[in-house]
Amino acid sequence: MEKEPVRVLQIIGIVCGGGVEAVIMNYYRHIDRNKIQFDFVVDGYEKTLLDDEIKSLGGKVYHIEPYKKNIFRYMSQIYHIVRDNHYDIVHSNMNTLSVFSLFPAWLAGAHQRILHNHSTAVRSEGIRSVMKMVLRPFAPLFANRYAACSRLAGDWMYGKKMMASGKVTVINNAIDLNEYAFSQELRRKYRQELNIPADAFVVGHVGRFMYQKNHAFLIDVFREVARQNPKAILMLVGDGELRPEIEQKVASYDLTDKVRFLGLRKDVKELYNCMDVFVLPSWYEGLPVVSVEAQANGLPSIFSDRVTKESSLTKSAIFLSLSSSAVNWATHILNVTGKRNKDALTELRDTGFDIEERAKFLEKWYDRKWVSSI
């Protein structure tokens, strides 16, 4: 009789085209699903972009009350999902909010409770930052295995001493490198479909419209780019609560015809081919998967100095200070015309971001002998 795969319950929160679900799905597509199978807990009762694919790969999707609406119902539903389905491994990707999923998982009897931190914080984010700082000491309380997307994210969540102890595993935000390789054919196809002229200079960004991603500054930068290059176009992929505010700012700068709001897309990897430069001016990041994707496509990639230097995976990465002017950012952006990195895939394989290799590591990591601390 064939052995059933070990089922891992992945808790990912809101599905909004963000980096966390992209990372988890990258691993899910490439693990040996005869050995390890993922099931997912997502916030909200509406069908998401991921539901059909997850089910086609053999996984289950549990839609539950969003924690923002009713935290007690959220915890109760997780408890019943874990208990009723006998999940032994619960992998929470909710950063500091993981205490609200791992506590009920502990009560329900899950033996492996994984806290996976994907982010950091800044004080300027207001109440969100306050909540992160308040919850950070509690997040690991009901976990007995610990992971982070980078050393920076690990240091922030667990502290340098615990990181040095070897108790925290850095799980790289690996991707299928071949899928992100630059294609001249796809560049022509997508530029034609999106009505982007062949000679346009396309500045690209992929990210949820939220404070962290710093879209407001990106629009300031692009206004300077457009002043110097009338053929410039800004491509914004993603959605979120701040999108109307950013659309209004674009209109106030009279840039509506130069900025493309593409919303949530399933073809992000193809869209990179349209771009000439990738810009990520975030206030903070763990190690953003979009930084890996953009570099895999060979794109010159300009990151803020708040993005971890661990994102410098190829010679395409450039870091600029957020205290620097929009004019200075624009100058750097315009200086990278035509400089795609032809060695990108080799460089990324050498730095450990090939999903084929890392998926095998994750399979063994889930199966590794462990000792419960609670």
- Model confidence band, residue 373 (pLDDT cutoffs 50, 70, 90): very low
145-184 residue pLDDT tens: 999 999 999 999 999 999 999 999 999 999 999 999 999 9
Q: What's the pLDDT score for residue 170?
A: 95
The better pLDDT of the pair 348, 339 is held by 348
Q: What's the pLDDT score for residue 368?
A: 65
Average pLDDT score over the chain = 93
For helices 215-228 and 243-252, what crossing angle results, to 10°? 30
For helices 355-367 and 19-30, what crossing angle results, to 10°? 80
> Within 13 Å of residue 107, how many CA atoms lie on the same side as its CB?
13
Residue 371 has pLDDT above 70, yes or no: no
- Model confidence band, residue 14 (pLDDT cutoffs 50, 70, 90): confident
Q: What's the pLDDT score for residue 336?
A: 86
Q: What's the pLDDT score for residue 131?
A: 83
Residue 163 to residues 157, 287, 308, Cα–Cα distance (Å): 10, 16, 16
Residue 189 has pLDDT above 80, yes or no: yes
159: CB partners within 8 A, 6+ apart: none
Q: Angle at the Cα of 167 (from 162 to 170), degrees rounded to 5?
A: 95
Q: What's the pLDDT score for residue 296?
A: 97
Q: What's the pLDDT score for residue 128?
A: 74
Of 190, 199, 197, 174, nearest to 237 (Cα)? Answer: 190
Residue 253 has pLDDT above 50, yes or no: yes
Of 269, 214, 202, 197, nearest to 17 (Cα)? Answer: 269
Residue 32 to residues 1, 71, 161, 169, Cα–Cα distance (Å): 18, 34, 34, 20
CA distance 25 to 8: 13
Instruction: Over range 271-284, report the average pLDDT.
Output: 97
Residue 16 has pLDDT above 80, yes or no: no
Got the DSSP string for 15-73? -SS-HHHHHHHHHHHHS-TTTEEEEEEEESSS--TTHHHHHHTT--EEEE--TTT-HHH
283-342 residue pLDDT tens: 999 899 999 999 999 999 999 999 999 999 999 999 999 999 999 999 999 998 778 999
Beta pairing class for 301-304 and 277-280: parallel
- Model confidence band, residue 370 (pLDDT cutoffs 50, 70, 90): low
Q: What's the pLDDT score for residue 20?
A: 87
The better pLDDT of the pair 350, 15 is held by 350
CA distance 135 to 126: 15
Of 158, 21, 6, nearest to 93 (Cα)? Answer: 21
Strand-pair partners of 168: 146
75-105 residue pLDDT tens: 999 999 999 999 999 999 999 999 999 999 9
CA distance 282 to 290: 12
Of 264, 259, 267, nearest to 232 (Cα)? Answer: 259
CA distance 312 to 244: 32
Question: What is the set of domains in the chain, with CATH numbers?
Answer: 6-174+354-367 (3.40.50.2000), 177-350 (3.40.50.2000)
Least confident segment among 1-5, 10-14, 32-36, 68-72: 1-5
Q: What backbone torsions phi and psi does residue 278 show, to the nearest 5 degrees?
A: -110, 135
Residue 190 has pLDDT above 70, yes or no: yes
Q: Coil, strand, or helix at residue 118? A: coil
CA distance 163 to 139: 16
